[in-house]
Amino acid sequence: QPQLQESGPGLVKPSETLSLTCTVSGGTVAGGSLSSSAYYWGWVRQTPGKGLEWIGTIYYDGSTFYSPSLNSRVTISADTSKNHFSLRLRFVTGADTAVYYCARQKTFGGVIAPYFDYWGQGTLVTVSS
Amino acid sequence: EIVMTQSPATLSVSPGERATLSCRASQSVGRDLAWYQQKPGQPPRLLIYNASNRATGIPARFSGSGSGTDFTLTISVLQSEDFAIYFCQQYDDWPRITFGQGTRLEIK
């Protein structure tokens, strides 16, 4: 099975950019390769108030899908040579304080199955001056 | 946006008994629904996908049912490790995924 691990600053100032990286390990056999067409890779965040919120997803070919509510502030990118993908969220406010998870989505018959079957442990990001 | 509403917010059940959790969608999502279990300090764990398919390694005491707007997660004989928060997620409206707010399953 793949292993996913989030990393990045735990504290970000208001109006600045939140940047996180998800490193995926386990190799192709374990379903941990960002170069594989069999998987998509997403970001989800969780707050006590709003619960779980999908942020966006990237595919091996670089295509991206973003939540409409965050679309104007989010960029997800991937580095297949390092087998990691990244999240950038611009102009953050206190409402962006959350635990951020990276997670895997499979394909089925060549089409995305948009549920999340493997997750990282999550990282708490606090937005505060 | 499709709104997912879970009920009850908190469910108190004794070990060994059956637990039934509900999830309702604001519009039909077909069978494009997943259930997750989350314990404190851990990420969500996929239990059920496509409304009724158990994920890899999930015990048979977990079952999902429903279609359209009304879905149920049933835990047939509660074990101590099953007390957690459960979330539903619709993905029929991909890429506009939404989650329910969760049901906390606590020991009675």
Residue in A43, A105, A115, A117 to test binding to B, most B beta-carbons within 10 Å: A115
3-state secondary structure chain A: CCEEEEECCCEECCCCCEEEEEEEECCCCCCCCCCCCCEEEEEEEEECCCEEEEEEEEECCCCEEECCCCCCCEEEEEECCCCEEEEEECCCCHHHCEEEEEEEEEEECCEEEEEEEEECCCEEEEECC
Token pair of A65, please?
């899908």
* Contact list, A121 vs chain B (CB under 8 Å): 42-43
Taking residues B68-91, report their average pLDDT. Answer: 97
* pLDDT in the model for residue A111: 87
Could B43 and A122 be called an inter-chain contact, meaning their C-beta atoms sit closer than 8 Å? yes
Per-residue pLDDT of chain A in tens (129 residues, 90 and over written 9): 899 999 999 999 999 999 999 999 987 777 778 888 889 999 999 998 889 999 999 999 999 999 999 999 999 999 989 999 999 999 999 999 999 999 999 988 888 889 999 999 999 999 999
- Asked whether the beta carbons of A73 and A90 are under 8 A apart, the reply is yes
Interchain CB contacts (distance < 8 Å): A and B: 55
* pLDDT in the model for residue B64: 98
* pLDDT in the model for residue A96: 97
* Contact list, A52 vs chain B (CB under 8 Å): 44, 87, 89, 99, 102
Shortest Cα–Cα distance, B95 to chain A (Å):
6
Among B42, B41, B44, residue whose Cα is nearest residue B99? B44
* Polymer length of chain B: 108
* pLDDT in the model for residue A33: 84
Shortest Cα–Cα distance, A66 to chain B (Å):
7
